[in-house]
Chain A
Amino acid sequence: MAAGLPHPLTYSVLIDQQLGLHLPPHVYYMWLAMIILFSCGFILRGRLQLVPGGLQNVFETVIGGLEDFVVLNIGEEGRKVFPFLSAMFIFILVMNYIGLIPGCDAATANVNTNAAMAISVFVYYNYIGIKKWGFGYIKHFMGPVIFLAPLMLILETVSHLARPLSLTLRLFGNIRGEEIVLVLLFVLAPVLGTLPMYFLFILGKTIQAFIFFMLTMIYLKGSLEHAH
Protein backbone atom coordinates (compact mmCIF):
# COMPACT_ATOMS: atom_id res chain seq x y z
CA MET A 1 0.00 0.00 0.00
CA ALA A 2 2.94 2.30 -0.42
CA ALA A 3 3.09 2.87 -4.14
CA GLY A 4 1.64 6.34 -3.76
CA LEU A 5 4.68 7.67 -1.93
CA PRO A 6 7.65 9.11 -3.82
CA HIS A 7 10.18 7.24 -1.68
CA PRO A 8 8.28 4.37 -0.10
CA LEU A 9 9.91 2.49 2.74
CA THR A 10 8.68 -1.02 2.11
CA TYR A 11 10.11 -4.41 2.99
CA SER A 12 11.62 -4.63 -0.46
CA VAL A 13 13.87 -1.63 0.27
CA LEU A 14 15.21 -3.40 3.35
CA ILE A 15 15.70 -6.64 1.44
CA ASP A 16 17.39 -4.75 -1.36
CA GLN A 17 19.84 -3.18 1.07
CA GLN A 18 20.66 -6.62 2.42
CA LEU A 19 21.11 -8.24 -0.98
CA GLY A 20 22.64 -5.28 -2.78
CA LEU A 21 21.01 -6.17 -6.11
CA HIS A 22 19.50 -2.72 -6.83
CA LEU A 23 16.28 -4.12 -8.25
CA PRO A 24 13.03 -2.12 -8.21
CA PRO A 25 10.42 -3.07 -5.58
CA HIS A 26 7.89 -4.65 -7.93
CA VAL A 27 10.37 -7.37 -8.87
CA TYR A 28 10.67 -8.44 -5.23
CA TYR A 29 6.92 -8.52 -4.76
CA MET A 30 6.49 -10.52 -7.94
CA TRP A 31 9.01 -13.00 -6.57
CA LEU A 32 7.06 -13.04 -3.31
CA ALA A 33 3.88 -13.92 -5.21
CA MET A 34 5.77 -16.65 -7.07
CA ILE A 35 7.16 -18.05 -3.81
CA ILE A 36 3.66 -18.13 -2.28
CA LEU A 37 2.16 -19.88 -5.29
CA PHE A 38 5.01 -22.36 -5.73
CA SER A 39 4.97 -23.33 -2.06
CA CYS A 40 1.18 -23.72 -2.15
CA GLY A 41 1.59 -25.96 -5.17
CA PHE A 42 4.30 -28.10 -3.62
CA ILE A 43 2.49 -28.42 -0.30
CA LEU A 44 -0.73 -29.43 -2.06
CA ARG A 45 0.95 -31.87 -4.43
CA GLY A 46 2.39 -33.76 -1.51
CA ARG A 47 -0.96 -34.48 0.12
CA LEU A 48 -3.71 -34.60 -2.44
CA GLN A 49 -6.82 -36.26 -1.07
CA LEU A 50 -9.96 -37.65 -2.62
CA VAL A 51 -12.06 -35.67 -0.17
CA PRO A 52 -10.53 -32.21 -0.23
CA GLY A 53 -10.12 -30.17 2.89
CA GLY A 54 -8.69 -26.79 3.78
CA LEU A 55 -6.32 -25.36 1.20
CA GLN A 56 -7.08 -28.01 -1.40
CA ASN A 57 -10.75 -27.17 -1.11
CA VAL A 58 -10.12 -23.48 -1.79
CA PHE A 59 -8.02 -24.21 -4.85
CA GLU A 60 -10.46 -26.77 -6.19
CA THR A 61 -13.32 -24.31 -5.86
CA VAL A 62 -11.46 -21.53 -7.65
CA ILE A 63 -9.94 -23.63 -10.41
CA GLY A 64 -13.05 -25.74 -10.90
CA GLY A 65 -15.20 -22.62 -11.15
CA LEU A 66 -12.84 -21.02 -13.64
CA GLU A 67 -12.67 -24.17 -15.73
CA ASP A 68 -16.45 -24.38 -15.94
CA PHE A 69 -16.56 -20.73 -16.92
CA VAL A 70 -13.95 -21.17 -19.65
CA VAL A 71 -15.53 -24.31 -21.07
CA LEU A 72 -18.94 -22.63 -21.04
CA ASN A 73 -17.59 -19.71 -23.05
CA ILE A 74 -15.02 -21.22 -25.41
CA GLY A 75 -16.26 -24.80 -25.60
CA GLU A 76 -14.32 -28.01 -25.20
CA GLU A 77 -11.28 -26.47 -26.91
CA GLY A 78 -11.01 -24.20 -23.90
CA ARG A 79 -9.51 -27.01 -21.84
CA LYS A 80 -6.33 -26.76 -23.92
CA VAL A 81 -5.74 -23.10 -23.08
CA PHE A 82 -7.18 -23.24 -19.57
CA PRO A 83 -3.83 -23.69 -17.73
CA PHE A 84 -2.54 -20.40 -19.11
CA LEU A 85 -5.77 -18.60 -18.19
CA SER A 86 -6.00 -19.89 -14.64
CA ALA A 87 -2.31 -19.25 -14.02
CA MET A 88 -2.82 -15.64 -15.15
CA PHE A 89 -5.82 -15.20 -12.86
CA ILE A 90 -4.26 -16.63 -9.73
CA PHE A 91 -0.92 -14.93 -10.28
CA ILE A 92 -2.51 -11.50 -10.75
CA LEU A 93 -4.86 -12.11 -7.82
CA VAL A 94 -1.99 -12.92 -5.46
CA MET A 95 0.06 -9.96 -6.68
CA ASN A 96 -2.93 -7.65 -6.17
CA TYR A 97 -3.62 -8.92 -2.67
CA ILE A 98 0.02 -8.49 -1.64
CA GLY A 99 -0.55 -4.77 -2.13
CA LEU A 100 -3.03 -4.78 0.76
CA ILE A 101 -0.46 -5.94 3.32
CA PRO A 102 1.00 -2.92 5.13
CA GLY A 103 4.60 -2.39 4.11
CA CYS A 104 4.18 -4.35 0.93
CA ASP A 105 3.37 -3.14 -2.54
CA ALA A 106 1.36 -4.65 -5.37
CA ALA A 107 3.62 -5.75 -8.21
CA THR A 108 0.78 -4.91 -10.59
CA ALA A 109 0.92 -1.25 -9.51
CA ASN A 110 3.86 -0.91 -11.90
CA VAL A 111 3.43 -0.63 -15.66
CA ASN A 112 6.29 -3.01 -16.43
CA THR A 113 4.75 -6.04 -14.75
CA ASN A 114 1.44 -5.51 -16.52
CA ALA A 115 3.05 -4.84 -19.88
CA ALA A 116 5.02 -8.07 -19.62
CA MET A 117 1.85 -10.04 -18.90
CA ALA A 118 -0.19 -8.28 -21.58
CA ILE A 119 2.46 -8.89 -24.22
CA SER A 120 2.66 -12.56 -23.32
CA VAL A 121 -1.14 -12.73 -23.68
CA PHE A 122 -0.86 -11.06 -27.10
CA VAL A 123 1.84 -13.47 -28.28
CA TYR A 124 0.00 -16.45 -26.84
CA TYR A 125 -3.36 -15.90 -28.50
CA ASN A 126 -1.74 -15.18 -31.85
CA TYR A 127 0.38 -18.30 -31.46
CA ILE A 128 -2.72 -20.36 -30.69
CA GLY A 129 -4.51 -18.91 -33.70
CA ILE A 130 -1.62 -19.55 -36.07
CA LYS A 131 -1.16 -23.05 -34.69
CA LYS A 132 -4.80 -23.89 -35.28
CA TRP A 133 -5.47 -22.15 -38.61
CA GLY A 134 -2.01 -21.97 -40.16
CA PHE A 135 -1.85 -19.35 -42.87
CA GLY A 136 -5.65 -19.09 -42.86
CA TYR A 137 -5.39 -17.17 -39.59
CA ILE A 138 -5.13 -14.04 -41.73
CA LYS A 139 -8.83 -14.48 -42.54
CA HIS A 140 -9.52 -13.37 -38.96
CA PHE A 141 -8.13 -9.98 -39.97
CA MET A 142 -9.92 -9.56 -43.30
CA GLY A 143 -13.58 -9.28 -42.41
CA PRO A 144 -16.52 -10.81 -44.26
CA VAL A 145 -16.40 -8.91 -47.58
CA ILE A 146 -13.46 -9.46 -49.89
CA PHE A 147 -13.24 -5.98 -51.46
CA LEU A 148 -13.13 -4.37 -48.02
CA ALA A 149 -10.24 -6.64 -46.99
CA PRO A 150 -7.39 -4.05 -47.20
CA LEU A 151 -9.32 -1.61 -45.02
CA MET A 152 -10.30 -4.35 -42.58
CA LEU A 153 -6.68 -5.49 -42.36
CA ILE A 154 -5.62 -2.07 -41.06
CA LEU A 155 -8.62 -1.74 -38.75
CA GLU A 156 -8.06 -5.17 -37.23
CA THR A 157 -4.35 -4.49 -36.84
CA VAL A 158 -5.14 -1.30 -34.92
CA SER A 159 -7.64 -3.00 -32.68
CA HIS A 160 -5.39 -5.99 -32.07
CA LEU A 161 -2.50 -3.72 -31.14
CA ALA A 162 -4.83 -1.82 -28.83
CA ARG A 163 -5.56 -4.97 -26.84
CA PRO A 164 -2.27 -5.38 -24.94
CA LEU A 165 -2.13 -1.63 -24.31
CA SER A 166 -5.62 -1.52 -22.87
CA LEU A 167 -4.97 -4.62 -20.74
CA THR A 168 -1.82 -2.99 -19.35
CA LEU A 169 -3.31 0.41 -18.65
CA ARG A 170 -6.53 -0.86 -17.11
CA LEU A 171 -4.81 -3.11 -14.58
CA PHE A 172 -2.09 -0.56 -13.83
CA GLY A 173 -4.50 2.34 -13.40
CA ASN A 174 -6.87 0.53 -11.11
CA ILE A 175 -4.30 -1.05 -8.83
CA ARG A 176 -2.07 2.01 -8.66
CA GLY A 177 -5.08 4.19 -7.92
CA GLU A 178 -6.18 1.93 -5.11
CA GLU A 179 -2.70 2.01 -3.58
CA ILE A 180 -2.62 5.82 -3.71
CA VAL A 181 -6.07 6.07 -2.10
CA LEU A 182 -4.96 3.74 0.69
CA VAL A 183 -1.87 5.82 1.41
CA LEU A 184 -3.87 9.07 1.39
CA LEU A 185 -6.50 7.68 3.72
CA PHE A 186 -3.82 6.32 6.00
CA VAL A 187 -2.34 9.81 6.25
CA LEU A 188 -5.74 11.34 6.98
CA ALA A 189 -7.01 8.88 9.55
CA PRO A 190 -4.53 6.12 10.31
CA VAL A 191 -6.38 2.86 10.90
CA LEU A 192 -9.96 4.05 11.05
CA GLY A 193 -9.95 5.41 7.51
CA THR A 194 -8.15 2.54 5.85
CA LEU A 195 -9.99 -0.40 7.32
CA PRO A 196 -13.36 0.11 5.55
CA MET A 197 -11.57 0.71 2.27
CA TYR A 198 -9.92 -2.69 2.57
CA PHE A 199 -13.25 -4.39 1.94
CA LEU A 200 -13.89 -2.28 -1.16
CA PHE A 201 -10.39 -2.86 -2.48
CA ILE A 202 -10.46 -6.60 -1.91
CA LEU A 203 -13.49 -6.57 -4.20
CA GLY A 204 -11.80 -4.17 -6.65
CA LYS A 205 -8.59 -6.17 -6.87
CA THR A 206 -10.47 -9.42 -7.40
CA ILE A 207 -12.51 -7.82 -10.16
CA GLN A 208 -9.40 -6.47 -11.88
CA ALA A 209 -7.77 -9.89 -11.86
CA PHE A 210 -10.98 -11.38 -13.19
CA ILE A 211 -11.23 -8.78 -15.96
CA PHE A 212 -7.72 -9.57 -17.13
CA PHE A 213 -8.58 -13.26 -17.12
CA MET A 214 -11.90 -12.72 -18.90
CA LEU A 215 -10.42 -10.55 -21.64
CA THR A 216 -7.65 -13.06 -22.25
CA MET A 217 -10.35 -15.69 -22.56
CA ILE A 218 -12.31 -13.60 -25.07
CA TYR A 219 -9.20 -13.00 -27.18
CA LEU A 220 -8.36 -16.70 -27.16
CA LYS A 221 -11.93 -17.48 -28.13
CA GLY A 222 -11.64 -15.05 -31.02
CA SER A 223 -8.51 -16.71 -32.33
CA LEU A 224 -9.87 -20.24 -31.84
CA GLU A 225 -13.27 -19.84 -33.45
CA HIS A 226 -13.87 -19.76 -37.19
CA ALA A 227 -13.39 -16.44 -38.97
CA HIS A 228 -16.75 -14.78 -39.60
Chain B
Amino acid sequence: MFFFKRDKPSEAMELFGNVATIGMQLVVATFIGLAMGYYLDEWLGTKPWMLIIFLLLGIIAGFRDVYREAMRLQRGADAQSSGPASGPDGDDAKGGSDRQGK
Protein backbone atom coordinates (compact mmCIF):
# COMPACT_ATOMS: atom_id res chain seq x y z
CA MET B 1 0.00 0.00 0.00
CA PHE B 2 1.10 3.49 -0.88
CA PHE B 3 0.06 5.20 2.35
CA PHE B 4 1.09 2.48 4.76
CA LYS B 5 4.80 2.12 5.23
CA ARG B 6 5.89 -0.87 7.28
CA ASP B 7 2.32 -1.62 8.30
CA LYS B 8 1.59 1.74 9.88
CA PRO B 9 0.22 5.01 8.55
CA SER B 10 3.07 6.94 6.97
CA GLU B 11 4.54 9.93 8.75
CA ALA B 12 3.43 12.41 6.09
CA MET B 13 -0.18 11.44 6.61
CA GLU B 14 0.02 11.91 10.36
CA LEU B 15 1.70 15.27 9.88
CA PHE B 16 -0.89 16.53 7.39
CA GLY B 17 -3.61 15.26 9.66
CA ASN B 18 -2.29 17.07 12.70
CA VAL B 19 -1.75 20.32 10.85
CA ALA B 20 -5.17 20.32 9.22
CA THR B 21 -7.05 19.82 12.47
CA ILE B 22 -5.78 22.82 14.41
CA GLY B 23 -7.36 25.79 12.66
CA MET B 24 -10.86 24.44 12.21
CA GLN B 25 -11.61 23.97 15.88
CA LEU B 26 -10.90 27.63 16.65
CA VAL B 27 -13.41 28.95 14.11
CA VAL B 28 -16.08 26.38 14.81
CA ALA B 29 -15.96 26.81 18.60
CA THR B 30 -16.43 30.57 18.14
CA PHE B 31 -19.50 30.03 16.00
CA ILE B 32 -20.95 27.45 18.38
CA GLY B 33 -20.58 29.98 21.20
CA LEU B 34 -22.23 32.64 19.05
CA ALA B 35 -25.15 30.36 18.22
CA MET B 36 -25.63 29.32 21.85
CA GLY B 37 -25.67 32.96 22.94
CA TYR B 38 -28.08 33.96 20.20
CA TYR B 39 -30.62 31.28 21.01
CA LEU B 40 -30.29 31.81 24.76
CA ASP B 41 -31.08 35.49 24.13
CA GLU B 42 -34.17 34.57 22.16
CA TRP B 43 -35.24 32.19 24.89
CA LEU B 44 -34.55 34.37 27.94
CA GLY B 45 -35.14 37.78 26.38
CA THR B 46 -31.87 39.29 27.61
CA LYS B 47 -31.10 40.83 24.27
CA PRO B 48 -27.37 41.52 23.90
CA TRP B 49 -25.84 40.04 27.06
CA MET B 50 -25.93 36.29 26.53
CA LEU B 51 -24.65 36.76 22.98
CA ILE B 52 -21.63 38.72 24.18
CA ILE B 53 -20.86 36.39 27.08
CA PHE B 54 -21.19 33.20 25.05
CA LEU B 55 -19.25 34.63 22.11
CA LEU B 56 -16.36 35.34 24.48
CA LEU B 57 -16.69 31.88 26.01
CA GLY B 58 -16.66 30.35 22.54
CA ILE B 59 -13.49 32.20 21.63
CA ILE B 60 -11.87 31.10 24.89
CA ALA B 61 -12.92 27.49 24.28
CA GLY B 62 -11.50 27.62 20.77
CA PHE B 63 -8.13 28.93 21.89
CA ARG B 64 -8.07 26.39 24.71
CA ASP B 65 -8.60 23.59 22.19
CA VAL B 66 -5.79 24.87 19.99
CA TYR B 67 -3.51 25.08 23.03
CA ARG B 68 -4.33 21.54 24.10
CA GLU B 69 -3.82 20.25 20.57
CA ALA B 70 -0.41 21.94 20.39
CA MET B 71 0.54 20.42 23.75
CA ARG B 72 -0.51 17.00 22.47
CA LEU B 73 1.64 17.40 19.36
CA GLN B 74 4.56 18.57 21.46
CA ARG B 75 4.25 15.55 23.75
CA GLY B 76 4.15 13.31 20.69
CA ALA B 77 7.32 14.91 19.31
CA ASP B 78 9.06 14.61 22.68
CA ALA B 79 8.11 10.96 23.05
CA GLN B 80 9.34 10.29 19.53
CA SER B 81 12.71 11.94 20.03
CA SER B 82 13.47 10.61 23.52
CA GLY B 83 11.72 7.22 23.40
CA PRO B 84 14.17 4.31 23.58
CA ALA B 85 12.64 2.13 20.87
CA SER B 86 10.00 3.95 18.87
CA GLY B 87 10.48 1.74 15.84
CA PRO B 88 12.22 -1.44 14.74
CA ASP B 89 14.51 0.51 12.42
CA GLY B 90 17.50 2.35 13.84
CA ASP B 91 17.11 5.64 11.99
CA ASP B 92 14.30 6.85 14.25
CA ALA B 93 16.72 7.91 16.95
CA LYS B 94 18.78 9.94 14.49
CA GLY B 95 15.77 11.47 12.76
CA GLY B 96 14.17 12.42 16.06
CA SER B 97 16.54 15.18 16.99
CA ASP B 98 16.01 17.27 13.88
CA ARG B 99 12.31 16.47 13.83
CA GLN B 100 11.93 18.26 17.13
CA GLY B 101 12.98 21.51 15.51
CA LYS B 102 9.58 21.92 13.83
Give A residues with C-beta under 8 Å from B: 58, 61-62, 64-66, 68-69, 154-156, 158-159, 161-163, 165-166, 169-170, 206-207, 210-211, 214-215, 218
Contacts and interface: CB of A to CB of B under 8 A. Distances in A.
Interface residues on B, range: 20 to 34
B17 A61 contact: no
A159 B62 contact: yes
A211 B25 contact: no
B21 A211 contact: yes
B36 A210 contact: no
Contacts, number: 80
B77 interface: no
A162 B4 contact: no
- A contact face: mostly helix, strand, loop, or mixed: helix
The 3 closest A-B CB pairs, nearest first, are A162-B29, A166-B28, A158-B61
Given A161-B36, A166-B24, 11 more contacts: A65-B8, A69-B9, A159-B25, A159-B64, A162-B32, A162-B61, A162-B62, A163-B25, A207-B13, A207-B16, A214-B17
A163 B69 CA distance: 13
Of A64, A163, A165, A215, chain B has the most CB atoms within 10 Å of the CB of A165
A158 B33 contact: yes
Given A211-B20, A211-B21, A158 B7 contact: no
Nearest to A211: B17
